[in-house]
Amino acid sequence: VRAETESQKLEYEQLLDIKVHLEKEIETYCRLIDGEDGSCTKSKGYGGPGNQIKDPSKATVVKTIVEEIDPHGKVLSSRVHTVEEKSTKVNNMKSEQRVPS
């Protein structure tokens, strides 16, 4: 019984370490996606208090950056395509910037 309890304790500690690592990784991705505005919130639903989700009342913004690069690695042009989605409404915005050569 003691050996089984010790084994379960070690397994629990390993799972807890993995959970903490994954929460930190999710937090990093959240900051990369949302910026430093702190719009990522923690969920208190299924999966425990460590799960992070976006507030459904806020908009989702997806930015796609396309860069044209010459063989020497110099950026020739850069395009940003932004799609903002609020519940069912979708707004599309495009901008393009030419880099002088």
Please give the residue range of the domain that contains residue 15.
1-55
Same domain, 32 and 65: no
User: How high is the pLDDT of residue 91?
Assistant: 47
Same domain, 9 and 46: yes
Task: Count how many domains the chain has.
Answer: 2
Task: Please indicate whether residue 64 or residue 16 has the higher confidence score (pLDDT).
Answer: 16
Same domain, 43 and 87: no
User: How high is the pLDDT of residue 90?
Assistant: 45
Task: Please indicate whether residue 5 or residue 96 has the higher confidence score (pLDDT).
Answer: 5
Contact indicator for 79, 65 with CB cutoff of 8 Å: yes
Give 26-73 pLDDT, tens digit per residue.
988 888 887 755 556 554 444 444 444 545 566 777 888 888 888 888
The label of the residue with tokens 């707004």 reads 91
Same domain, 5 and 49: yes
Cα(39)–Cα(90) distance, rounded to whole angstroms?
20
Same domain, 48 and 63: no
User: How high is the pLDDT of residue 57?
Assistant: 63
User: How high is the pLDDT of residue 39?
Assistant: 57
Same domain, 50 and 77: no
pTM over 0.85: no
Same domain, 71 and 31: no
Same domain, 6 and 51: yes
Same domain, 93 and 64: yes
How many residues in the chain?
101
